[in-house]
Each structure stands twice: as C-alpha cells, then as structure tokens.
Structure 1
Amino acid sequence: MSQPDTPRGDPWMAFGYLTSGVLLYGAIGWGLDRWWGTGFMVVVGILLGAGLGLYQTFARFRMVEEEPSAPPPDAPGSTRPAQQ
C-alpha cells in the first residue's frame, strides 16, 4: 500500500504527453496553414495539442491502482467454502 503523499506517476511522462501534443498538433496546424494559405491553424493546433496532452495526462495519472483482492469463493484454488 502506498503512502497518500507518494506521487503515483512519472513527471517526465506528463511532460512528454504535453510536449508531444503541442509539437504534433502544432506541426499539423502549420501544414494546414501552408496548404490552405491561412494563418490561424497553427494556433488552433497548438491549443488542441495542449488540451489533448492535458487530457491524456489526467487520464493516465487518475487511474486508481487497485489492490489485489481475494478470489471469488467458487474459484479454483479458493480456500473459502462457497455459500449456498
């Protein structure tokens, strides 16, 4: 069992999610700007990448690590008798 104040994730992984989201979607926005002749898609891509990176970070680190529980009473190898 971990202590409540112990971090549950790697901060470099969170940094990687945010950085890769901004770089990837910023590059896609830059490519769309070049293709369509606009000047705002790079900003949209960067903001979208930052939002998706934050979502991925929170989704990854919010997962609760469940402790292993006892097998059900009727499972093979169980030492508890099944209730009838």
Structure 2
Amino acid sequence: MSDSPKSPSSHDPWVAVGRIGGGVLVYGALGYLLDLWWGTSFMVVIGIVFGAALGIYTVFAALQDRS
C-alpha cells in the first residue's frame, strides 16, 4: 500500500476542465475589472473568450508534450 499521493495526469479530463475553466474565470474577472475601470462593457467578453482560448491551448500543449 502506497501512502504517496498520485500526481495528476495531463490525460485526465478534469485537468482539461480545470485549465479551461480557470482561464475563463481569471481572464473574465480581469475583463470585468477593466470594464469597471474604463467604463466599457465589452472587455469581460474579450476576457472570457481569450481565457477559454488560452485554456484550450494549454490543454493541447500538455497533450503534445506527453506524446
């Protein structure tokens, strides 16, 4: 019986969900703050799209490294 925790695999689907969801949350929040600061209403959408794209990119990059 091993007491060491398992390291997360980049092939685990929850890792992909976390990367994409994290990108959406972080960059969406950054866009929201920019909207408040600049008085606009479109930066949150740009932040969400950019965060999702960056999250998808990191998922594919991690899968390419494992091949």
Deviations 1:49-70 (A, max 9, x none): 00000000000112145xxxxx
- From 53, 56, 64, the equivalent of 1:54 is 56
What is the RMSD computed on CA atoms of the aligned residues?
1.2
Structure 1 residue 30 displacement after superposition = 0.1
Code of the aligned partner of 2:47? G
In the alignment, the residues of structure 1 paired with residue 63 and residue 39 of structure 2 have an alpha-carbon distance, to the nearest angstrom, of 39
Q: TM-score, normalised by structure 1?
A: 0.65
In the alignment, the residues of structure 2 paired with residue 17 and residue 33 of structure 1 have an alpha-carbon distance, to the nearest angstrom, of 24
Q: Specify which structure has the higher proportion of helix.
A: 2
Structure 2 portions without partners, runs of 5+: 1-9
Structure with greater Cα Rg:
1
- From 14, 17, 25, the equivalent of 1:15 is 17
Aligned to 1:80: none
Code of the aligned partner of 1:42? V
SS of residue matched to 1:63: helix
How many positions carry a matched residue from both structures?
58
Q: TM-score, normalised by structure 2?
A: 0.81
- What fraction of aligned residue pairs are identical, expressed as a percent? 53
**Larger RCO (CA under 8 A, 6+ residues apart):** 2
